[in-house]
Amino acid sequence: MRHGEYKTPGGKLVQVDCEVIGGRLHHVQVTGDFFLEPPEALDAIAQALEDAPVDASEEELAQRIRRALERFGDSLELLGFSPEAVARATRRAIE
């Protein structure tokens, strides 16, 4: 099990736990002391990282997350973190 963390300056902590199988991310769990509405958006974030190649860049990972969050429209609210913060924590878990 791999573990990575990133804390947005002035914001909140993001933790990513995952496994790397066959060069791809699996069993991704994204957690932290951030605020997020609706709560179901967290599953979408973790799902977006599932199966991502280990050599995906931070920007590519953030893009996967942003795309997965589009369906929440105006109801979406992230406070204290961002897709980029999750992507950075993910990269740290991989490295």
Interface with another protein by CB under 8 A: which residues?
5-7, 9-13, 15, 17, 29, 31-39, 42, 77, 79-80
Q: With left for phi above 0 and alpha for psi between -120 and 50, is residue 51 left, alpha or beta?
A: left
Shorter beta-carbon distance to another protein: residue 20 or 76: 76
The residue type found at 83 is: P
- 74/76 Cα distance (integer angstroms): 5
Shorter beta-carbon distance to another protein: residue 37 or 55: 37
Least separation in angstroms between CB 16 and another protein: 10
Least separation in angstroms between CB 19 and another protein: 14
For 47, phi then psi, to 5°, come to: -60, -35
Closest CA relative to residue 35, chosen from 91, 76, 93: 76
Shorter beta-carbon distance to another protein: residue 23 or 73: 73
Least separation in angstroms between CB 33 and another protein: 4
